[in-house]
Structure 1
Amino acid sequence: MSLESFFQPRSIALIGATERVGSVGRAIWENLRGFGGAVFPVNGKRAEILGVKAFPNLAALPEVPELVIIVTPAATVPQIVEEAGAAGVKAVVVISAGFKETGAEGAELEKRVLEAAKRHGVRVIGPNCLGLMNPHAGLNATFASSMARPGRVAFLSQSGALCTAILDWSHEQHVGFSAFVSTGAMTDVGWGDLIRHFGNDPHTESIVMYMESVGGDAAAFLEAAREVAAHKPIVVIKVGRTAEASKAAASHTGAMTGSDAVLDAALRQSGVLRVDTVEELFDMAEVLSKQPLPAGPRLAIVTNAGGPGALATDALVLGGGEVAELSDDTLEALNEVMPAHWSHHNPVDVLGDADADRFATALRVVKNDANVDGVLAVLTPQAMTHPTAIAREVVKIAQENGKPLLTSWMGAQSVNEGRAILNAAGIPTYDYPDEAAQAFVRMRERRLRLFWLNESLAAHAEDVEELPSVIGDMIDAVLKSGRTLLTELEAKQVLFAAGIPIVETHAAYGEDAAVAAAEALGFPVVAKLLSPTITHKSDCGGVQLNLHDAAAVRHAWRLIRDNVTKLHDIAAFEGVTVQRMVTRQGTELILGSSTDAQFGPVLLFGAGGTLVEVFQDRALVLPPLNRALARRWMEQTKIFKVLRGVRGRPPVDLAMLEDVLVRFARLVHTERRIVELDINPLLASPEGIVALDARVVVRAETR
């Protein structure tokens, strides 16, 4: 159902309207008086509210209101929603508190509200919210003290208190909104619904969100974000980065995936830009709507003072951007028009006595350099400086060649007129140059996230290759045996069936069988614990390497048995697996998957081996993948530099590694009974890719 009735209603009923000074019911009633459509106060105890006829209930109204706003006590809300739905109302905002935030009794009330709404096809915003505004329609259905200015930004917030603070700030900063929505508990209308609505809203150019939780339907949120973020920027600030991560699973992967890290990956692949401060939230909404995105990370800085240029440079590099290296032609052109003592590099210091002509000439030359992806103009008020005249010249240059141009007119009264000229022309201005440089980095990040988004959409649209039936058969057999942990041999068989290269491995339940397997494979070999219960074999002496003859294999079999039985029950020891000792040089990686409670399968890639938790060099991504996403995923890690070849080490077969990552993603995305899957180590070398060890945990679930 469309949310249009919330933001463009023809008529409104306020249940709980009152004259009582200081009450929510009175504040909302007074705010609604500015609305152009019909507004009906509903109060069973009063004949009128501030001179307007009141009605005892919804049934007594002269017409069915398109929007109902409820401010009565929580206990009354389920019945009111029931009555509203029966009357034909399709949109309800529940301002009232006292629901799940209060405990079990409140949660039960909230459940009844949702049940009543679903029975009648009613959509509900709230409960426990500030309300909503549509400044373009003159609608203020909140108890805030003022109305938002009309603008092009839709602001969605789970915090009502933050809404009122942002509202006050917006008046001072002259920030306008297409809508202002306090989402409350989101028992019904969630992020996905709101994103889709404002994605189609002609008054909205960008969507900014203050998020405390993803809410109940993470899949709907991501799907809506993927649909909208390609043509309208979505900027999010999410609190709780340092909250306790989700309980660690037994696997390396599970221990290293926390809800915030998973959310980061989900937002990145959905094209959503995440920021760290409220100021950045609105700043990026503005700059992304005013300036083109940079094609690359290279920023040039033109300034009439060296210190501010250095500040911008530090912020740029620390944020992941690059200082553009000016071409020889650009340097030559600047030498012809600059005083001899100009900086002769980027940042381009045009010196403190630069007039408007010199500043503009330098800016134009630099902006036209093919090595430059964007330009930051920094001006400090000096005796010879004319901030207003220079601003007029900057406006002309900003319209040339399609590259982003940001400015920092530092100071106060002397630069205010210049700032106003720049702002009127759609050129963002910043108080300080480091803020401007950080904005450029965020703009570049938006460009990269659009790449992630486009490739994610392509991966979702691809026909998913069916997994071989043998994989499902093996999982069936494990579950029927009462186990959820696959043995190493079973885990490798699953990987092999999915098209992931493994080192050939044999099970040996006795010494003689171990020797026979070793002789068949060829020495040297590795012997590892075969156990239905133990995950980390090396922790209990369950791995013996570089065995060169039969005697060494027999000794290893007994040693592993003795080590395990000392620490665990004899039932933990079934035997050993035997595999050829891989002696080729390569890079040990980890490739893993765990199941996030909200987002489902999450994939992990990074540096592997026994020190995986120490180095913690890893990146997360959500399936499905294609080759482009697989490569970008790898590029997020430090170990990727090693994979490309470093200090005489040849590069690994990256094309084959991409293929392995795509097949791995297909396996866990398609076979949802796999709860955890670790390949550690995954050995990558110029000769190929091979899984040396694997661990798989499954659960009983209908496929």
Structure 2
Amino acid sequence: MAATVDPVVDVLEEGKHPLDSLFRPKRVAVVGATDKEGSVGRTLLKNLISNPFGGVVYPVNPKREHVLGILAFRSIAACPGHVDLVIVVTPAATVPGVIQDCVDQGVKNAIIISAGFKEVGPEGEKLELEVQRIATKGNLRIVGPNCLGIICPTSGLNASFANLMPQKGSVAFISQSGAMITSVLDWSVSQKVGFSAVISIGSMLDMDFSSMIFYLAKDSATKSIVLYMESIGNARNFLSAARECSLTKPIIVIKGGRTDAAAKAAASHTGSLTGSDAVLDAAFKRAGVLRVDSMSDLFEMADVLSKQPLPNGNRLAILTNAGGPGVLATDALASHGGVVAELSPKTVQDLSGVLPAAWSHGNPIDVLGDATAKHYADSLEIVAKDPNCDGFLVILTPQAMTAPTDCAVALTKYAKIQGKPVLASWMGGPDVAPGAKVLNDAGIPTYAYPDMACRTFNYMHQYQTNLDSNYDRIDLKVDLEAVQAGKLQAQKLIASVRASGRSLLTEAESKLLLKAYGIPVTPCELANSPQEASAAAEKMGFPVVIKLNSTTITHKTDVGGVVLNLHTSYAVEKAYNDMKESVSRLASPEGFEGVTVQPMISLKGYEIILGSSLDPQLGPVLLFGTGGALVEVFQDSAVALPPLNPNLARKMLQETKLYKALLGVRGMGSVDMDQLIQIMVRFSVLILDLPEIAECDINPLIASEDSIMSLDARVLLHDPSVDAVDLPQPSIRPYPHQYVCSYDLDDGSKAKLRPILPEDEGLMRHFYARASWPDGCDPASMPNEEEHPTCTLDRQHLIRTCFVDFDRSIVLVAEVDKAIMGAGRISREEMSDDFTFSLQVLPECRKKGLGSKILKRLIELSRMEGAACIKADVFCENKRALRFLEGHGFRLGVPTHSGRLVPAKYQLTDSSHHRSRSRTGSKALAGDRKPTLMMS
């Protein structure tokens, strides 16, 4: 069957989004509108009627006939026509009743300006929960409470009590602080910054950052999104929305709390190293979000990213007519990760042909104090061609021989250099101001000082790195099915420990847990007497180590619970008795529960810590870094959110200082990096498979060029009284192993259906290439994909397919003989329990029943994921696909004016007058009218 791999469209009216009635309403009711001077109700109503948005406004106030000269209504029900948006400015105690009225009248969006909810205490929290209950039951979406409102300059809507209507622009600003918004709006007037939307989300009872990001991602007027954040809200939703949006639009965030003492020391080493701010940094990087340190940086970066391309590296070329500013720029660049580009010999030679002999002959490129506009322009043109340069900073200081405005005009033709940003610093006051304006108007961001420009360049590189590194390809696969083989054994071990009422695993139990997931551990034998210990040592072979076995003591070394390098049975027995005495004295007699005997591992390698702890906002967090007894002293570590794939594991490694040593230093060979990455991925799976784990440390994990071995481990579980449903959840949904299955095809061959992996990118590129071959062709006659690529897909399409967010979509691939022969996707519609799906099968497998197998599995998964309705969009002319879907229980429907579907089995609109559309991986199909097939 011919089908589509494109994202399926919403069944609502073309271009319609569930939140359009919030940002572009036709009828707005203001409950609590009043004439009272200085009141929120008056200011808000005045803002609405003073800024035409193409709709009507209904003041709702049962005590007044008119408000500001406009006819008032006693209730929402009394307002003529269907109200799209209700704005509530009444006291908190009355809000539940107002929200009930909204639900009764079928209103879909409300903004609660009123304060007095959970921020005031238990009574307010009770009110807020009641509002939430009513709204959820009535499918009403709420912004607020305790917010400033929203402003949409592109539609003319000012549904806020801000004192300014900002000018139109391409930046969307979302803030939890209303006061921050009013300050920014005031600042924006003098700076001439425009907005596509300004949103105050307040307490986030319902809609939060993620809701707004999902909407703004599809808003054509919005080019970048900036956030002022106090709390992340629903972490999983935020990361899901940000990951999706950041592929096409930059998201820049500022969040307080860097100096907050949230990173309190915990019982685990990992807990003491993973403060909430470090975890948030990791979360933002994972989502492709850029975090900045100041409000000026926030809007500066939004402006820059809308004008200039991101650099492909951190090498900056600096052109200047004075040495001092060049040195200042070099220092500022190096202090945050940038480097001064090394000019190629050809560039130096070419520059010598256009500049005076006394030029610097290096980077910074000092064009000298008497530089003309031509010197600047010729130099930038030459340097722009240098492959060693990723970006350019042009500095000008006002000197008698240099004309700032003429130089600026000469540079404007270089405002758009493919893949390389151009920044400028016109230093000075009134003399350089006209030139700075020329540059800014041409799209070259201009700064008063070069260090500011360098900071911006470093931010741009950081943002590009965040985006690219998340989706880098790595030729290493982890057999996740093999990793899952030990899951049942591990679950039984955890269950037995919890059943005993314990939370702390012994070292022996901890190592059994790691071993179940294929993480190498030292042999370990339990001994409950000196004689048992010496017998185990003799069996194992000297030298040995004995360690305390305890279900209550966390750190063994604190109580003398580790004795190394024992060479005789006598030494083992003596160490046993000494340890028993030491533990009884320093802790308690009950803390000593025997010892474990282990071989003395004398590896010449590096001590690593690999751990997991819980963040109150983001759930399980992973840590990798320099381990050993001084782990908190060195604090050389990287933090990441699970799940890891091989690329993300490698990225964690590279973020530590230890990484360079692991590659080999001072005569030591490189550690087996592939094995280390495998261990990290397996550890990530372990943590996600076993949510009962609260903390886990492998410390040390000894890595040498010969082997990698876990010498010690500590695992702390949640209290046995905590129910499974209350255990913390990861902020990124893990790989759904449970959806892997196999089928026999009609010709006797086997197909493995499984959720897609990032490592499948190469296979998927080949799949799309084969889908573009002519029908009936012999695959053996087609060119090799690696040598003669026939697939013109851009990488972003492959990223959206292979690096799928399982919380929003599940892509199933059908693997036959190690090749992908079919693929299907189910996607959850925004703000809905409806799912849409798409399906594609290579021609040679259509007659084998593969399409039916994938479709049936997609239907099963949709229902398992909680779908209320499953829908597909198919071209009218694709009769075979329509018959195929109807044969699997789907019925045809067409969108009605209300957006609901009605059965219309043969009501297919003739679309021959529409232009043809080509779809990736399939032949062009005539027409773009797509009736929806649905299954409830």
AA partner of residue 187 (structure 2) = W
CA separation in 2, counterparts of 1:302 and 1:261?
36
Asked if 1:536 corresponds to 2:552, the answer is no
AA partner of residue 183 (structure 1) = I
Q: 2:305: which partner in 1?
A: 288
Question: What TM-score do you get using the length of structure 1 for normalisation?
Answer: 0.97
Gapped regions of structure 2 (runs ≥ 5):
1-16, 726-936
Q: 1:269: which partner in 2?
A: 286
Q: What does residue range 105-120 of structure 1 map to in structure 2 within 5 Å?
A: 105-120=123-138
Counterpart contact for 1:268–1:452, Cα < 8 Å: no
CA separation in 1, counterparts of 2:559 and 2:703?
26
AA partner of residue 239 (structure 1) = G
AA partner of residue 575 (structure 2) = A
Q: 1:346: which partner in 2?
A: 363
Counterpart contact for 1:459–1:625, Cα < 8 Å: no
Q: What does residue range 414-453 of structure 1 map to in structure 2 within 5 Å?
A: 414-453=431-470
Is the partner of 1:562 in helix, strand or coil?
helix
Structure 1 residue 452: Cα displacement: 3.8
CA separation in 1, counterparts of 2:42 and 2:473?
48
AA partner of residue 251 (structure 2) = I
Asked if 1:315 corresponds to 2:359, the answer is no
Asked if 1:9 corresponds to 2:25, the answer is yes
Q: 1:547: which partner in 2?
A: 566
CA separation in 2, counterparts of 1:572 and 1:462?
40
Asked if 1:588 corresponds to 2:604, the answer is no
AA partner of residue 455 (structure 2) = Q
CA separation in 2, counterparts of 1:73 and 1:7?
24
1:298 to 307, 315, 331: 315
Q: 1:255: which partner in 2?
A: 272
Q: After superposition, what is the alpha-carbon deviation per residue over 1:587-607, rounded to whole angstroms, capped at 9, x for unaligned?
A: 101110012222121001111
Q: 1:32: which partner in 2?
A: 48
Asked if 1:65 corresponds to 2:65, the answer is no
Structure 1 residue 112: Cα displacement: 1.1
The number of equivalent residue pairs is: 702
Q: 1:97: which partner in 2?
A: 115
Higher helix share: 1
Q: 1:515: which partner in 2?
A: 534
Q: 2:728: which partner in 1?
A: none
Q: After superposition, what is the alpha-carbon deviation per residue over 1:409-451, rounded to whole angstroms, capped at 9, x for unaligned?
A: 2223222332222222222111111111111101111111102
Structure 1 residue 337: Cα displacement: 2.2
Q: 1:378: which partner in 2?
A: 395
Structure 1 residue 481: Cα displacement: 1.3
Counterpart contact for 1:521–1:580, Cα < 8 Å: yes
What is the RMSD of the two structures over their aligned residues, measured on CA atoms?
1.9
Question: After the TM superposition, which of the residue ranges 324-333 and 84-93 deviates more from structure 2?
Answer: 324-333
AA partner of residue 306 (structure 1) = G
Q: What does residue range 444-523 of structure 1 map to in structure 2 within 5 Å?
A: 444-454=461-471, 466-468=484-486, 469-523=488-542
CA separation in 2, counterparts of 1:523 and 1:110?
67
CA separation in 1, counterparts of 2:452 and 2:166?
26
1:360 to 377, 380, 387: 377
Is the partner of 1:421 in helix, strand or coil?
helix
Counterpart contact for 1:306–1:349, Cα < 8 Å: yes
CA separation in 2, counterparts of 1:613 and 1:578?
27
Is the partner of 2:491 in helix, strand or coil?
helix
2:588 to 537, 560, 569: 569
Q: What does residue range 47-62 of structure 1 map to in structure 2 within 5 Å?
A: 47-62=65-80
Counterpart contact for 1:131–1:181, Cα < 8 Å: yes
AA partner of residue 135 (structure 2) = A
Distance 1:668 1:459, change over 3 A: farther
Q: 2:425: which partner in 1?
A: 408
Counterpart contact for 2:476–2:674, Cα < 8 Å: no
Is the partner of 1:668 in helix, strand or coil?
helix
Question: After the TM superposition, which of the residue ranges 395-404 and 314-323 deviates more from structure 2?
Answer: 395-404
Distance 1:378 1:197, change over 3 A: same
Question: After the TM superposition, which of the residue ranges 67-76 and 287-296 deviates more from structure 2?
Answer: 287-296
Asked if 1:230 corresponds to 2:247, the answer is yes
Q: 1:397: which partner in 2?
A: 414
CA separation in 2, counterparts of 1:311 and 1:413?
22
AA partner of residue 431 (structure 2) = S
1:79 to 97, 107, 130: 97
Counterpart contact for 2:668–2:705, Cα < 8 Å: no
Structure 1 residue 395: Cα displacement: 1.8
CA separation in 1, counterparts of 2:535 and 2:34?
88
1:199 to 197, 203, 217: 217
CA separation in 2, counterparts of 1:348 and 1:156?
41
Q: After superposition, what is the alpha-carbon deviation per residue over 1:75-113, rounded to whole angstroms, capped at 9, x for unaligned?
A: 111110011111111100001111111111111111111
Distance 1:254 1:400, change over 3 A: closer
CA separation in 1, counterparts of 2:188 and 2:172?
13
Counterpart contact for 1:270–1:456, Cα < 8 Å: no
Distance 1:459 1:652, change over 3 A: closer
Counterpart contact for 2:470–2:648, Cα < 8 Å: no
Is the partner of 1:337 in helix, strand or coil?
coil
Counterpart contact for 2:624–2:638, Cα < 8 Å: yes
CA separation in 2, counterparts of 1:250 and 1:400?
53
Structure 1 residue 335: Cα displacement: 2.1
Question: After the TM superposition, which of the residue ranges 638-647 and 453-462 deviates more from structure 2?
Answer: 453-462
Structure 1 residue 230: Cα displacement: 1.1
AA partner of residue 684 (structure 1) = A
Q: After superposition, what is the alpha-carbon deviation per residue over 1:306-354, rounded to whole angstroms, capped at 9, x for unaligned?
A: 1111111111000111111112222222222222221221111101100
Distance 1:580 1:675, change over 3 A: same
Q: What does residue range 582-621 of structure 1 map to in structure 2 within 5 Å?
A: 582-621=601-640
Distance 1:105 1:456, change over 3 A: farther
Q: 2:834: which partner in 1?
A: none
CA separation in 2, counterparts of 1:551 and 1:382?
86
CA separation in 2, counterparts of 1:431 and 1:478?
64
1:42 to 26, 45, 60: 60
Structure 1 residue 513: Cα displacement: 1.2
CA separation in 2, counterparts of 1:234 and 1:43?
40
Is the partner of 2:670 in helix, strand or coil?
coil
Is the partner of 1:414 in helix, strand or coil?
coil
Structure 1 residue 541: Cα displacement: 0.5
Asked if 1:658 corresponds to 2:674, the answer is no
Asked if 1:167 corresponds to 2:185, the answer is yes
Question: What TM-score do you get using the length of structure 2 for normalisation?
Answer: 0.73
CA separation in 1, counterparts of 2:688 and 2:474?
15
2:175 to 157, 163, 168: 157
CA separation in 1, counterparts of 2:350 and 2:201?
55
How many percent identity over aligned positions? 52
CA separation in 1, counterparts of 2:21 and 2:261?
39
CA separation in 2, counterparts of 1:581 and 1:677?
23
CA separation in 2, counterparts of 1:561 and 1:632?
44
CA separation in 2, counterparts of 1:666 and 1:345?
50
Counterpart contact for 2:170–2:221, Cα < 8 Å: yes
Distance 1:10 1:89, change over 3 A: same
Q: What does residue range 615-630 of structure 1 map to in structure 2 within 5 Å?
A: 615-630=634-649
CA separation in 2, counterparts of 1:458 and 1:109?
55
CA separation in 2, counterparts of 1:516 and 1:321?
60
Q: After superposition, what is the alpha-carbon deviation per residue over 1:597-630, rounded to whole angstroms, capped at 9, x for unaligned?
A: 2212100111110011111111100111111111
CA separation in 2, counterparts of 1:455 and 1:597?
29
CA separation in 1, counterparts of 2:472 and 2:378?
40
AA partner of residue 669 (structure 2) = P
